[in-house]
Amino acid sequence: MSVLGGLLIIAATITGVIGIGWLFLDAIGTEWDYCPGGSDCVAGWKVGAGLTVVAAAAGLIGLGVLRRERDSSRSGERLT
């Protein structure tokens, strides 16, 4: 399970960098819209925000998996 948590953290980091980068490029005024097939474009800030939200969710899930793995590895002993 710790491998899954680590992979989720790595995926979250990569997705977050892309999402924040896309938001930054849109904020400084460059037009980085997503236009599949050349029509009906999706605004760049929407793509960046979506990627950032997905990254945050994957990171939180990854941390939860790693934390659960760490807590279950002890012999019933918990820190309070």
Distance CA 32, CA 47 (A): 9
Query: pTM above 0.85?
Result: no
Residue 32 structure tokens:
């980085």
- Kindly tell me if the per-residue pLDDT of 75 is higher than 60: no
Residue 75 structure tokens:
């012999």
**Average pLDDT, whole number, for the chain?**
86
Token pair 């896309």 in the structure block, residue: 22
- Kindly tell me if the per-residue pLDDT of 12 is higher than 60: yes
